[in-house]
Amino acid sequence: MKYLGIVLGFFLSFTAQAAIDVREFRSPVDEARYRALIDELRCPKCQNTNLAGSDAGLADDLKDRVYEQIQAGRSDGEIRDYLVVRYGDFISYKPPMKASTLLLWWGPALLLVSVGFLLWRRSLRKPVRVNPLNADEQAHLQRLLTGSAQPPIDSEPRA
């Protein structure tokens, strides 16, 4: 039983160590750039998680790629461009404004304006006038409400 506890502790220590992201940077500025980039880049697999918060294998690969690019002396813009070429504008939480992303940028505002316009137009409509019931219709309604739904003999068929 003692050996089982030691072996289990040994394997659990590997999983705990694998979860910690340890990288050596030349300067605190490079480390800050790395942290900022992985916070603003989206994981292509997780879709709503940035690289920093994702545990996916692809996110780990992309973090390695960002680290390598920083170590190679590339600027933040070059690193972003490198990843956008490979994964598209989706990888960025702040996609550029261009023809393919116009709907993404202006779609919510257009939808809001359209719905507002339709609600405004609907509020301008005049209410439909309802003609009051004549005596025969009123009598027929009373019969329906009281439960004797047999029509009178001399009534005309309703349209």
Domain hosting residue 34, numbered range: 25-96
On whether the CB atoms of residues 92 and 41 are closer than 8 A, the answer is yes
Residue 31: give its domain's CATH number.
1.10.8.640
Q: What parts of the chain have a pLDDT lower than 70?
A: 2, 4-5, 7-21, 148-159
Per-residue exposure over 96-132, b if at least 16 CB sit within 10 Å of its own CB, e if not: eeeeeeeeeeeeeeeeeeeeeeeeeeeeeeeeeeeee
Q: Residue 134: inside a domain, yes or no?
A: no
Whether the full predicted model's pTM is greater than 0.85, yes or no, is no
- pLDDT per position as a tens digit, 26-48: 888 988 999 999 888 888 887 77
Q: How many CB atoms lie within 10 A of CB 22?
A: 5
If one counts the domains in the chain, the total is 1
Q: Residue 104: inside a domain, yes or no?
A: no
Q: Residue 65: inside a domain, yes or no?
A: yes
Q: Residue 35: inside a domain, yes or no?
A: yes
Q: Residue 126: inside a domain, yes or no?
A: no
